[in-house]
Amino acid sequence: MTNNEFEMLTGGCTPRPNEERQRLLAMARSRRDIASRMYVSPSGADQVDAYAWDLCADAYGCIAYGASPDVVISWAKGKWCAYAVSMREKVSAAPKIRMGPSAGHSVISHRWTSDEFIDSMLARVKSCR
């Protein structure tokens, strides 16, 4: 998340009460920690999923500083959709496996993205109020 995006989502908002804000920021830190471990994983699927964990961390952080959960979730869903389109294009453009049971599939098919995955993660963000 860029500073401009953070300002756009939280500008003029009143931060949550301290105890609630600290709880949300702890949730953001734990999601960011999961994402950082997934980014360095040798699994391409983990690396793709790490982006979703990062978006959830950003969402918790924005909500902690007073942003509307509905606005933040809509922003995160838009970012995920743009990311998903770019990953699907990469998967389509990658070379195909020539032999065996996976013949014809992309060599990076494990980097395919799912809308259901981000939806389930953002549903948890929304229920954290």
DSSP SS3 for 127: coil
The pLDDT profile of the chain, 129 residues, written as one tens digit per residue, is: 776 787 778 777 788 888 989 999 999 999 999 999 998 988 777 888 899 999 999 999 999 998 888 999 999 999 998 888 888 787 777 777 777 776 776 666 666 677 777 888 888 888 775
CA pair distance 127, 121, nearest whole angstrom: 10
Instruction: Give 71: exposed, middle or buried? Use CB within 10 Å, 0-12, 13-18, 19+.
Output: middle
pLDDT given at position 108: 62
pTM over 0.85: no
CA pair distance 114, 67, nearest whole angstrom: 26
Distance from chain centroid for Cα 86: 14
